[in-house]
Amino acid sequence: MPRTVTYSPSYTLVPTYECFNRCTYCNFRVDVGQEAGLSLTQAQEILNSLQSQNVLEILVLSGEVHPHSPQRNAWFQRIYDLCELILAMGFLPHTNAGPLSYSEMAQLKQVNVSMGLMLEQITPKLLTTVHRHAPSKVPEVRLQQLEWAGQLKIPFTTGLLLGIGETQSDWWDTLEAITDTHSRWGHIQEVILQPHCVGSQQSLTESEFNLNQFPDLVAKAREILPESIAIQIPPNLISSPDILLLCLEAGATDLGGINPKDEVNPDYPHLPHQTLIKLLESAGWQLVPRLPVYPQYHDWLSISLSKILPIS
């Protein structure tokens, strides 16, 4: 009997690439004023093209607008309207738009089956290096998002970014912080372990993460995190098939959203779907699609959101 590893058949829509942060490892952002952003008409055309492609999740992934910017309200309204459109067209939205206010999170809960924000690392020392020009990467700001998500009963995804100047001790501290907030609210459905892979648009010229460490890291994360939290690893960022399989053996259970394009890591495309299936099957694993909201959280959704979940 094959063991199972899950993934989300997904597509990413980007309301805007403009972002007021300047993380040195970023391959996503553009400067403010460089692009008009995604219109609802453009989004509808894209969603129409996905109707026959077995896509379930639409990840709404946005660059960040400063909380006090005069453009903040329009930016947020575009994200909300986009989620409404996604729902109306039969898809399931999952939004990751950086830190939000409590009110913004409460509003987006109405039109998202789950949401997310990478914690990355909670050590403050990165504020003097890779996050020197990234005000929203203050650890307390991001930890607050996890707390508010729990209070609002939002099924939530978070994770670690590996190899940006942190230590192994920082990994364990960040995982413990996630476990701590989950112990209060029970809302973290998955934790992503994401190795930093150098891309063509960033200013940081190297990654400090050794992929050979990955299986041991997964095993330790499985010890720290509650069993109910899935451990997700991105297959396109793991250059060695052997290491990918060892991570599954060590306790990783999910491969995340598999998109035509990884917007955060555009230099690292996913393997063709059938190639990935064959790789996994050769080691006794079966790749199984899942929804962007895990079954244990279905009763957290409003009646209107619950009605659109596919019947399994």
pLDDT in tens, the chain (312 residues): 789 999 999 999 999 999 999 999 999 999 988 888 999 999 999 999 999 999 999 999 999 999 999 999 999 999 999 999 999 999 999 999 999 999 999 999 999 999 999 999 999 999 999 999 999 999 999 999 999 999 999 999 999 999 999 999 999 999 999 999 999 999 999 999 999 999 999 999 888 899 999 999 999 999 999 999 999 999 999 999 999 999 999 999 999 999 889 999 999 999 999 999 999 999 999 999 999 999 999 999 999 999 999 875
Q: Report helix, strand or coil for 4.
A: strand
Closest CA to 229 of 238, 218, 215: 218
| Distance separating alpha carbons of residues 184 and 163, to the nearest angstrom | 29
For residue 154, the surrounding DSSP H or E stretch is: none
Instruction: Quote the CA–CA distance of 80 and 296 in Å, as a whole number.
Output: 25
Q: What is the CATH number of domain 3-300?
A: 3.20.20.70
**What beta strand segments (E) does 220-312 contain?**
230-232, 254-258, 285-289
DSSP per residue over 166-221, as a string?
Answer: --HHHHHHHHHHHHHHHHHH--EEEEEEEE----TT-S-------GGGHHHHHHHH
CA dihedral 62, 127, 178, 30 (to 10 degrees): 10
Which three-class secondary structure state does DSSP give residue 236?
helix
